[in-house]
Amino acid sequence: MVVSNELDHKYIVQTAEMLFDLIVELNKALSIQFEFINIGGGIGIPYGPEQRPVPIERIADGIKKAYGAKIVANKLDPLKLFMECGRLITGPYGYLVTTVRHMKHTYKDYVGLDACAANLMRPGIYGAYHHMTVLGKENMPSTYKYDVTGSLCENNDKFAIDRMLPQIQEGDILVIHDTGAHGHAMGFNYNGKLRSAELLLRRDGSVTQIRRAETPDDYFATLDFDVLKSFK
């Protein structure tokens, strides 16, 4: 967690260099021979359309150079390098597809969705940005300001605050981008919300369901009704 969702490749390389230095220091002080080192999983993804992916080749070149200068030079090789790149691998390839259920126009304009924080909790718990598009309106100007909300009875159940989008109407389909790493994996059943199905879009354009939607039977599956009846 030295770096998290970092888009500057130099910080990833610097993190590896710091850990290599620590390995050398501990080896000299304690004569420990290390088998592997976990250099973290902080490589980020471009959540915003103006951002660019991290140049993986530069990370590899920088770490390889540091490995030779610090690990090989101090005769500490071979040393396995592990990484945890779940966000990088899965994040850009998941989308939360949701329908506009209602609109509210008071002192602000609100877009109410059939999805909620139970489907994607990052924006609600720490204000994370996820890009949004409206199907069929991708090329329309984003001239309307909305708070995009979920259906939980919580003030922080919002996917976006003051987000500029095309004009939205009930029935529109919103696509929330880059939810592959922290969508279903962080899902929950607060307020009795059932988690949605997951669909796989294949290269040929076909769609396959890979996870069915939860049902009320799933929600109550771990509840022992026989025990509850004994309290009559």
- Cα separation, 142 vs 160, in Å, equals 14
- Cα separation, 33 vs 31, in Å, equals 6
**DSSP-derived 3-state class of residue 140:** coil
Contact 150, 176 (CB under 8 A): no
- Give yes or no: 116 in active site: no
Backbone angles phi, psi at 50, to 5 degrees: -85, -10
Q: Which of 153, 221, 223, 227 is catalytic?
A: 153
Burial of 146 (0-12, 13-18, 19+ CB in 10 A): buried
CA distances from 104 to 117, 150, 169 (A): 19, 13, 11
Backbone angles phi, psi at 201, to 5 degrees: -90, 115
CA end-to-end distance (rounded Å), the chain: 51
**DSSP-derived 3-state class of residue 4:** coil
Task: Take residue 156 and report the two structure tokens written for it.
Answer: 């922080």
Strands 173-176 and 96-105: antiparallel
For residue 41, how many other CB atoms are within 10 A of its CB? 18
Where in the sequence numbering do the catalytic residues fall?
153
